[in-house]
Amino acid sequence: MTIDFKGGTKLKQQCITDMYNLGVKMLMPKLQNKLYIEIEFVTGLKKNTGIDAVCAWEDTNHRPRWFSIEVDNSLGLKELLIALAHELVHVKQYARNELKQLIKTNQLTWHSKVFDVSSTSYSNYPWEVEAFEKEQQIFKEWYSNNQHRLK
C-alpha cells in the first residue's frame, strides 16, 4: 500500500501510516500491496460539512484500488485516527466490491442490494454500521502498541 499525504504533521502522518498498515493486515491482507491512498488534511471540513473525514474511489467503481481521503485538519490525534480507521473500512468495502456507488444516482449497492441514500438514515446504512464497529477494533489494536504516542 502506498500512502501520500497533503498536509499534516510528521507525527500524524507516521501514526496514520502505522495504523493503516495494521488495518489493511486486519481487513484485507491480500490487497496489502495493491492500494494507493491519498490523504489530504482540509481546513474547515467538519465546520463546513459536519463530517470528520470522507473517502472516495478515484479510478473505477468496480473494485477500485486508488482512493482519496479528506480529513479535517483540526482533529486531535485520537479523533483523527478513529476517523481514518472508519474511512479505511470504507476503502475495504469499495476495494472488495461490497459497497459500490452507482454513478450519477443517489444509490449504492451493499452486497448487491440497492440502497437509496436519500431515503435512509446515515446511521442505519449497513456499511456505516460495519465501519463504526471495525473502526474501534482497528484503533484499539493500534492503541495497544502505541498509547505513548497520544500523550
Distances (CA, A) of 82 to 22, 33, 63, 135: 13, 23, 24, 6
Strand 107-110 versus strand 99-101 pairing type: antiparallel
Domain residue spans of the chain? 2-145
- How confident is the model at residue 98, as a pLDDT? 96
For residue range 67-116, what is the model confidence (pLDDT) as tens digits? 999 999 999 999 999 999 999 999 999 999 999 988 778 889 999 999 98
Taking Cα atoms as reference points, which of 52, 68, 54 lies closest to residue 6? 68
CATH code assigned to 2-145 = 3.40.390
pTM: 0.94
What is the three-class DSSP state of 111? coil
Any bridge partners for residue 109, and if so which? 100, 114
